[in-house]
Chains A and B, each alone.
Chain A
Amino acid sequence: MFPGNRLKVLPSLGLGKMCINFSRYSNFGGSTLPGRLAASLSPDILSILASQLKEGCILITGTNGKTTTAYLLAKILSQAGKKIIHNRSGANLISGVTTSFIAESTWSGKINADLGVIEVDEASMPAVASRLRVKAAIVTNLFPDQLDRFGELKHILKIIAQGLNKIDGDGFLLLNADDPLVSSIKKNVRTIYYGIDRLKGASITADQTDIKTCYRCGKKYDYAHIHYAHLGIYRCPGCGIRRPSPQYSIVSHFKKPAQSAAVAIKTPTGVFQFSLKARGFYNIYNALAAISCALILGVREEVIKASLRQFTACFGRMETFAIENKMVELALIKNPVGANEVLRTIVEEDGEITLMLAVNDKYADGTDVSWLWDVDFEMLAHPDNKIKNIFCSGTRGEEMSLRLKYAGIDTRKIKYEDDLNIIFRESLSNTPDGGKLPILLTYTAMLELRKIINKMGYGKKFWEE
Chain B
Amino acid sequence: MQGLKLRFAHLYPDLMNSYGDRGNMIALVMRARWRGFSVEVMDVSAGDNRRITGADCIVIGGGQGLEERMAICKDLQQKSPEIHYCAENKIPILAICSGFQLLGKYYLTAEGDRIPGIGLLDIWTIASKRRAVGHIALRVRLGNMNKTIVGFENHAGNTFLGARALPFGKVLKGYGNNGQDGKEGAIYKNVLGTYLHGPLLPKHPWLADYILEKAVNNKYPGTRLKLLNSKFEKMAYQKVLKRMAVRC
Binding site for B on A (CB under 8 A): 144, 147-148, 151-154, 206, 208-209, 211-215, 217-220, 361, 367-368, 370-374, 395-396, 398-399, 401-403, 405-408, 411, 414, 416
Contact = CB atoms under 8 A, between A and B. Distances in A.
Nearest to B231: A411
A406 B27 contact: yes
B14 A152 contact: no
Contact of B23 (A152, A211, A373, A395): A373
A416 B238 CA distance: 14
B17 A209 contact: yes
B67 A214 contact: yes
Contact of A398 (B67, B70, B232): B232
Contact of A399 (B21, B27, B70, B199): B199
Contacts of A395: 239
B178 interface: no
B236 A213 contact: no
Question: Which of B17, B20, B198 neighbours the largest number of chain A CB atoms within 10 Å of its CB?
Answer: B20
B3 to A, nearest CB: 21
A411 B232 contact: yes
Given A212-B15, A218-B70, A373-B23, A368 B232 contact: no
B199 A144 contact: no
Given A396-B239, A416-B235, A372 B18 contact: no
A144 B67 CA distance: 15
Given A212-B14, A405-B232, A370 B198 contact: yes
B68 interface: yes
A398 B240 CA distance: 10
Nearest to A408: B30
Contacts of B17: 208-209, 374
A148 B134 contact: yes
A402 B236 CA distance: 7
A208 B154 contact: no
B67 A406 contact: no
A148 B152 contact: yes
25 contacts: A147-B64, A148-B133, A153-B64, A208-B14, A212-B14, A213-B68, A213-B71, A214-B67, A218-B68, A218-B71, A220-B15, A361-B243, A368-B197, A370-B152, A372-B199, A373-B202, A374-B22, A399-B199, A399-B236, A399-B239, A401-B232, A402-B233, A402-B235, A402-B236, A407-B26
B64 A152 contact: yes
Contacts of A151: 131
A30 to B, nearest CB: 26
B37 interface: no
A223 B199 CA distance: 30
Given A398-B235, A402-B203, A370 B14 contact: no
Given A206-B14, A406-B202, A398 B236 contact: yes
